[in-house]
Amino acid sequence: MRADAALRVAGKGEAVDAAALMIEGVTKRFATADGPIVALEHVSFSVRQGEFLTLIGPSGCGKSTLFNIVGGLLGGYDGRVLVDGRAIAGSHRAIGMVFQEESTFPWRTTLDNVAFPLETAGVGKAERHARARELIKLVGLDGFENRYPAEMSGGMRQRTAIARTLAFEPRILLMDEPFAALDEQTRLLLGDKLLQIQQALRQTTLLITHNIAEAVQLSDRVVVMTFRPGRVKRIVEIDLPRPRTSEIVSSAAFGQYVASIWNDLREEASQGLSESEAAPLRRPSHH
Ligand code: ADP
Ligand code: MG
């Protein structure tokens, strides 16, 4: 069915591997008490079907703003977002989101958290539980179906949230710093898990992270953004063999990618730092 969709889009003489998602000249301004700010400026890139693409950039460069636009949570921008070649407005059923902050329901078990989207879609109990169990297995939480979020670690709760988003069967998965609150080892292991999931489902995946190693480990391409206004600074193709596991982080090629992206980011990050040092008394920004 995915192949069909790609072919349909390719019908007008375009390449067969039509982009699953296109961001075209997106500019977003916010009015703040300190005056208008340009959060994103002419951001354009496209994401291939089944691609794993990571967005990296200093804090405040507009990464979450871009995801919120793509996910339909934020309007009032210039430019266009296209799914399968069609401009979208507002939320789109092909797109699922996973956030940084806790989003599991504390009063529901793992099974009922993951089954929640199916429940709201009116899927019967036996079927939704069967499907939820498959997803729970996919994220490596089998055996924990009847646990409540409070009885599990942060990493396990985040996997529950990912499985729940997968239950919507999104063709495009957006993850905004899903591992930010986790320790380094858990991050690496969850990164492996994400790669396994993506290989199993062939989902188009967009990830936001601050972590350069994580970006290189997981991605086909990394989009490096500039500090305010957020623009695309460079798109780095990560030409490392797949399937990948966290073991790849010790290879020389891996280290070179990390160093080169860090080079790009250092400039942007120091600009962000000097700006925040220059204005220490300004009220904290909105996230
Ligand atoms: P990132 O996710 O890259 O850290 P954000 O997308 O959260 O950055 O924010 C980009 C910029 O836009 C920041 O300067 C932030 O303060 C500002 N911003 C984000 N959301 C709002 C909002 N609702 N109102 C005003 N300013 C906002
Ligand atoms: Mg953010």
Q: What is the pLDDT of residue 278?
A: 62
Whether 83 and 183 share a structural domain? yes
Which of 6, 73, 18 is closest to 47 using CA atoms? 18
Residue nearest to atom 10 of ligand 1 (CA): 62
Specify if 85 maps to a domain. Answer: yes
* Residue 82 scores a pLDDT above 90: yes
One domain, residues 139 and 269 = no
Q: Which residues contact 230 (CB under 8 A, 6 or more apart)?
A: 39, 40, 41, 43, 57, 61, 62, 63, 65, 66
Tell me the one-letter amino acid at 15: A
- Judge residue 133's burial from the number of C-beta atoms within 10 Å of its C-beta, 0-12 exposed, 13-18 middle, 19 or more buried: middle
- Residue closest via CA to ligand 1's atom 5 equals 62
Q: Residues 117, 256: one domain?
A: no
Ligand 1: which residue has its CA nearest to atom 18? 286
Cα 27 to ligand 1 centroid, rounded to whole Å: 13
- pLDDT averaged over every residue in the chain: 88
- The answer to the question of residue 261 being in a domain is yes
Assigned token pair, 224: 């490096």
Q: For a substitution probing ligand 1, which of 23, 27, 29, 30 has the most ligand atoms within 8 Å of its CB?
A: 30
pTM, rounded to two decimals: 0.86
Ligand 1 atom 6 nearest Cα: 62
Indicate the range of 8-17, 55-64, 226-235, 242-251 predicted with least confidence: 8-17
Domain boundary among 143, 169, 195: 169
Closest CA to 209 of 64, 3, 89, 101: 64
CATH number, position 64: 3.40.50.300
Question: Ligand 1 atom closest to Cα of 74?
Answer: 23
Q: Mind listing the pLDDT tens digit for each residue in 153-193?
A: 988 999 999 999 999 889 999 999 988 878 888 888 888 88
Same domain membership, residue 144 and residue 177: no
| pLDDT at residue 184, rounded to an integer | 83
Other Cβ atoms less than 10 A from the Cβ of 267: the count is 13
What distance in angstroms lies between residue 64's CA and the mean position of ligand 2's atoms? 4
pLDDT of 136: 94
- Structural domain contains residue 99: no
Is residue 114 in some structural domain? yes
In a domain, 284, yes or no: no
The verdict on residue 49 lying in a domain is yes
Same domain, 139 and 187: no
pLDDT at position 172 is: 96
User: What is 163-194 written as a DSSP string?
Assistant: HHHHTT--SEEEEESTTTTS-HHHHHHHHHHH
159 and 188 part of one domain:
no
pLDDT tops 70 at residue 17? no
Shared domain check, 248 and 217: yes
Distant-in-sequence, close-in-space partners of 210: CB < 8 Å, separation ≥ 6: 56, 59, 177, 180
Highest mean pLDDT among 43-52, 154-163, 192-201, 209-218: 43-52
Residue 17 lies in a domain: yes
User: How much is the pLDDT for 10?
Assistant: 40
State the distance from the centre of ligand 1 to the C-alpha of 26, rounded, in angstroms: 15
Q: Which of 152, 169, 186 is the C-terminal boundary of a domain?
A: 169
- Ligand 1 centroid–CA 151 distance in Å is 33
Closest listed ligand to the CA of 57: 1
Do residues 236 and 176 share a domain? yes
Counting ligands in written order, the one closest to the CA of 59 is 1
CA of 148 to the centre of ligand 1 (A): 33
Q: Does residue 19 sit in the same domain as residue 147?
A: no
Both 218 and 230 in a single domain?
Answer: yes
pLDDT of residue 161: 93
pLDDT tens, residue by residue, 218-267: 999 999 999 989 999 999 999 999 888 888 889 999 999 999 999 999 98
Judged by DSSP in three states, 82 sits in strand
User: Is residue 43 within 8 Å of residue 79, measured between CB atoms?
Assistant: yes
Identify whether residues 197 and 257 lie together within a single domain: yes
Q: Hey, is 55 helix, strand or coil?
A: strand
Domain boundary among 119, 143, 169: 169
Q: Specify the ligand 1 atom closest to the Cα of 285.
A: 16
Tell me: do 78 and 142 sit in the same domain. Answer: no
Residue 91 phi/psi, 5° resolution?
A: -75, 155
Counted domains in the chain: 2
Point out the ligand 1 atom lying closest to the alpha carbon of residue 68: 6
User: Measured in angstroms, how far is the CA atom of residue 159 from the centroid of ligand 2?
Assistant: 19
- Residue span of the structural domain in which 69 resides: 2-94+170-278
Pocket of ligand 1 (CB under 6 A): 30, 32, 37, 39, 57, 59-65, 285-287
Residue 283 lies in a domain: no
Write down the pLDDT at residue 286: 52
- CA 150 / ligand 2 centre spacing (Å): 25
CA distance 104 to 109: 9
Task: State residue 210's pLDDT score.
Answer: 86
